[in-house]
Structure 1
Amino acid sequence: MAGGTEFNRQKFKELILYLADKSGDDLGFGMTKLNKLLYFSDFEAYRRLGRSITGATYQKLEWGPAAREFLPLHEELLSDQRARVEARPRGRFWRKVTVSSGADTSAFSPDELQVINAIIQELRPYDATGSSDLSHHQSVGWNVVDYGETIPYETVVVSAELPDANVVEYFRRLEGVAG
């Protein structure tokens, strides 16, 4: 169980389809960005709702977090002809997942859809490189584990920002009082 949720392979596949469908007009959308959308959706749901959407296990890879379950389930979607991959030149080689049949949105609660849609909008301005950079900067978990290791969902509640000087000074004063 990851993120307070038992892994749900069907829900994970529906999330891939939903994200690909909603990102169809996003010129920066490709395989890398899809992985970041999956990661941010699951981890933000854990932060907001206390549980992930899919229960997927995310690992640290060079280009950012990616679900261990992604490749086999992506292949299932391709073999079931529910999705296809378009290869297009755009800078470096770029692959985009497109949907043949829409996602079954009944797999998601209204709260989950709200989180997913917010993540889509938040990442819309970014291409693959930008979304990877964002995942490196915002994910404390990605920064504290080694390559190939699992990123704990609990790390989403830890801020990557340093506290401002006033907060540091406040706690130093408290420490002095507690002696």
Structure 2
Amino acid sequence: MFNNEKMKELVSYIISKCDYKNSFGKTVLYKLLYFSDFNFYEIYEKSITDETYIRRDKGPIPKHFEIIKEELVNEGKIKEEKEFVINYPKYKYLSLKIPEIKLLSEEELEVTNTVLEKLSKMNATTISDYSHGDMPWRATKNKEKIDYEFVFYRDDEYSVREYEKET
């Protein structure tokens, strides 16, 4: 079942770690959330937040993001800035308070930090293209819910779990 408070903590945490990066915006945030949840699921067979991710043209998006974002803005924890770049809206997120980590476990933070290390330097186009190679996104029809179980069919480039070799 979707964990609203844990999702807020994860969103706030990722924003606090990435808000200074020029390429960090809504698209990058969406993919960092997706890979944190799905990589954790591949390793531990459960999601961090139980968020539902939807397959879209530019990659997976978290279903409850707008609700979570509004709550964090109203609580004074983050700020959303919108600017137009060549008639296209660009959303930037800033952390206003150091996130209190009460719900995220050490393992969840470790997986998230690994995702941030590997992917947070990417811009929106690069991380979207990267997400298109991941089996859960590839195996899902557009606008449908992405099944976490597809992580067990990932290519080596995306897989984060140590599987025993067959002899």
Report the TM-score when normalising by structure 2. 0.86
What pairs up with 1:162-177 in 2 under 5 angstroms? Answer: none
Query: How many residues are treated as equivalent by the alignment?
Result: 155
What pairs up with 1:80-99 in 2 under 5 angstroms? Answer: 80-88=75-83, 93-99=89-95
Query: Could you tell me whether the CA contact under 8 Å between 1:15 and 1:103 is conserved in 2?
Result: no
* Structure 1 residue 130 corresponds to structure 2 residue 130: no
* Structure 1 residue 121 corresponds to structure 2 residue 117: yes
* Structure 1 residue 70 corresponds to structure 2 residue 68: no
Q: Distance in 1 between matches of 2:27 and 2:105?
A: 26
Query: Could you tell me whether the CA contact under 8 Å between 2:28 and 2:120 is conserved in 1?
Result: no
Match of 1:106 among 97, 102, 105: 102
Q: Distance in 2 between matches of 1:86 and 1:53?
A: 27
Query: Could you tell me whether the CA contact under 8 Å between 1:12 and 1:54 is conserved in 2?
Result: yes
* Structure 1 residue 39 corresponds to structure 2 residue 30: no
Query: Could you tell me whether the CA contact under 8 Å between 1:41 and 1:115 is conserved in 2?
Result: yes
Please report the RMSD computed on the Cα atoms of aligned residues, expressed in angstroms. 1.6
Which stretch shows the higher mean deviation, 96-105 or 34-43? 96-105
Structure 2, unmatched stretches of 5+, are: 157-167
Match of 2:3 among 4, 8, 18: 8
After superposition, give the CA deviation of every residue in 1:14-48 in whole Å (9 maximum; x if it has no partner). Answer: 11100000002222100110000000000000011
Q: Distance in 2 between matches of 1:68 and 1:124?
A: 21
Q: Distance in 1 between matches of 2:21 and 2:114?
A: 15
Which stretch shows the higher mean deviation, 68-77 or 83-92? 83-92
Q: Distance in 2 between matches of 1:88 and 1:34?
A: 17
Structure 1 residue 90 displacement after superposition: 5.8
Structure 1 residue 159 displacement after superposition: 2.3
Structure 1, unmatched stretches of 5+, are: 1-5, 162-179
Question: Which structure has the larger Rg?
Answer: 1
Query: Could you tell me whether the CA contact under 8 Å between 1:9 and 1:54 is conserved in 2?
Result: yes
Q: Distance in 1 between matches of 2:120 and 2:65?
A: 21
Report the TM-score when normalising by structure 1. 0.80
Identity %: 34
Greater helix share, structure number: 1
Q: Distance in 2 between matches of 1:64 and 1:128?
A: 10
